[in-house]
């Protein structure tokens, strides 16, 4: 079977900054067909930001493609590297931001597309506002359960990537015995010594960059080491994981029944180390109106050829 590829590059026809309250200005853009089916893209991290490539998962003749940068990262302001206040950056804030953007763009209902943390946020949004969601397309499922955090940040994934794990653990030297690495990093990333904070941010960010694809990708590692990106990515991501996503353990699975009237596609790399396939399987079991595609030659990254194929196949099927 010939694999589908990303659509050709396109430019947005509308951009702006949305006042989300709390002193937050969110960058948004719209591309594709102004009269097309609305879809909103939720980026990963949290703290990752959007990129031009993200427009390309959708047929531009069929979709009105909405991208935005979540609070504190990307082109939204204030940026975490400039001291943005993380106390107003929670899952509830982000879900409300999506709904505010929907109303601002005068969209009645839209498809929601998200991968990794974007899948977490998509589920949280859809469970809060099911009447606003036509379909869900999700990749690299992350339910933000304690077991998932422990696997990735407390040694499990390190057995598969021992050299990268050494780099992640380097800033933890001298930490108290028995402390969870996420909690130690929380202190380091907010150190009053800017060098300590930056070194911790780069170590946190490049750990994910080094483990996100089935095969090594030096470009991704270098990209995640860029200081401004790393500070926002690491501080926001760690903030959410330190606070367990700001919801109860297992809440996204517990409330999956709220998705019963929403069709969806789950695309999951078989060898995803960042977000292991168990979570995709558990979500599919709890959400009968979903279809699950396990991609046997893929890791976590959205750009893996098999992942791209299934994602584009899904968006084409819903157009």
CA distance 77 to 82: 9
Position 174 scores a pLDDT of 78
Give catalytic status of residue 296 as yes or no: no
Evaluate whether residue 100 is within a structural domain.
yes
Averaged pLDDT, 62-81 = 98
Tell whether 274 and 231 lie within a shared domain: no
Does the structure show a pLDDT above 90 at 29?
A: yes
- The predicted-structure confidence for 244-282, as pLDDT tens digits, reads as follows 999 999 999 999 999 999 999 999 999 999 999 999 999
- DSSP summary character for residue 287: -
Residue 244 DSSP class? G
On whether both 138 and 269 belong to a single domain, the answer is: yes
Phi then psi for residue 287, to 5 deg, are -130, 85
Residues listed for the chain: 319
Indicate whether 6 belongs to any domain: no
Give me the catalytic one of 31, 116, 119, 212: 116
Give the DSSP letter of residue 23: T
**What's the structural domain count of the chain?**
2
Residue range of the domain that includes 306: 14-146+246-317
Residue pLDDT, tens place only, 119-159? 999 999 999 999 999 999 999 999 999 999 999 999 999 99
The reply to whether 272 falls in a domain is: yes
Instruction: Give the model's confidence band at 87: pLDDT under 50 very low, under 70 low, under 90 confident, else very high.
Output: very high
Is 243 labeled as catalytic in the residue annotation? no
Last residue of a domain, one of 244, 261, 282: 244
pLDDT tens per residue, range 30-42: 999 999 999 999 9
Confidence of residue 23 (pLDDT cuts 50, 70, 90): very high
Average pLDDT, whole number, for the chain? 97
Q: Over range 289-297, report the average pLDDT.
A: 98
pLDDT over 80 at 177, yes or no: no
Say yes or no: 216 and 259 in one domain.
Answer: no
The two tokens of residue 140 are: 């690299």
CA distances from 17 to 146, 211, 242 (A): 35, 33, 29
Question: Of 79, 97, 272, 290, which is the active-site residue?
Answer: 272
Both tokens assigned to 311: 């994602």
For helices 146-153 and 181-189, the axis angle rounded to 10 degrees is: 70
Is the pLDDT reported for residue 185 higher than 80?
A: yes
Query: Which of 216, 244, 272 corresponds to the end of one domain?
Result: 244
- 257 shares a domain with 141: yes
Whether the predicted pLDDT of 176 surpasses 90: no
CB distance 313 to 4 below 8 Å: yes
Lowest mean pLDDT segment, chosen from 16-20, 75-79, 170-174, 210-214: 170-174
CA distance linking residue 284 with residue 268, whole number of Å: 11
pLDDT for residue 48? 96
Helix (H, G, I), strand (E, B) or coil at 280: helix
Is residue 21 included in any domain, yes or no? yes
Look at strands 63-68 and 24-32 and give their pairing.
Answer: antiparallel
Q: Is 116 a catalytic residue?
A: yes
Domain end marker among 218, 244, 270: 244
CATH number at residue 282: 3.40.50.1820
Q: Are residues 52 and 87 in the same domain?
A: yes
Q: Which residue among 43, 79, 293, 300 is the active-site one? A: 300
Q: Compute CA distances 145 → 118, 244, 275, 278, whole Å.
A: 15, 8, 11, 12
Same structural domain, 139 and 176: no
For helices 162-169 and 194-211, give the axis angle rounded to 10 degrees: 160
- Model-wide pTM > 0.75: yes
Please report, for residues 60, 73, 305, the alpha-carbon distance to residue 70 in angstroms, rounded to integers and kept in the order given.
23, 6, 27
The position carrying tokens 């998705």 is 259
């Amino acid at each position: 079977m010939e694999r589908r590829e990303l659509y050709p590059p396109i430019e947005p026809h509308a951009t702006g900054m949305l006042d989300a309250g709390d002193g937050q200005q969110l960058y948004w853009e719209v591309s594709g067909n102004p009269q097309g089916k609305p879809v909103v893209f939720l980026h990963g991290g949290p703290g990752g930001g959007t990129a031009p490539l993200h427009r390309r998962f959708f047929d531009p003749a069929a979709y009105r493609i909405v991208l935005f940068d979540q609070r504190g990262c990307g082109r939204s302001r204030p940026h975490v590297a400039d001291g943005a206040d993380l106390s107003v950056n929670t899952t509830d804030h982000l879900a409300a931001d999506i709904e505010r953007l929907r109303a601002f763009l005068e969209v009645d209902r839209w498809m929601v597309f998200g991968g990794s943390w974007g899948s977490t946020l998509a589920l949280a949004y859809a469970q809060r506002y099911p009447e606003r969601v036509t379909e869900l397309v999700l990749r690299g499922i992350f339910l933000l359960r304690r077991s998932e955090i422990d696997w990735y940040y407390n040694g499990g994934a390190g057995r598969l990537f021992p050299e990268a794990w050494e780099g992640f653990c380097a800033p933890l030297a001298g930490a108290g015995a028995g402390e969870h690495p996420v909690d130690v990093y929380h202190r380091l990333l907010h150190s009053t010594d800017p060098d300590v904070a930056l070194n911790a941010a780069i170590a946190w960010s490049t750990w994910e960059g080094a483990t996100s694809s089935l095969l090594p990708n030096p470009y991704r590692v270098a990209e995640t080491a860029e200081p401004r990106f790393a500070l926002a990515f690491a501080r926001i991501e760690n903030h959410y994981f330190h606070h367990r996503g700001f919801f109860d353990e297992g809440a996204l699975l517990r409330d999956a029944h709220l998705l019963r009237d929403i069709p969806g596609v789950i695309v999951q790399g078989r060898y995803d180390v960042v977000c292991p396939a168990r979570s995709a399987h558990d979500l599919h079991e709890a959400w009968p109106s979903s279809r699950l595609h396990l991609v046997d030659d893929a890791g976590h990254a959205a750009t893996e050829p098999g992942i791209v194929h299934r994602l584009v196949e899904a968006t084409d099927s819903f157009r």
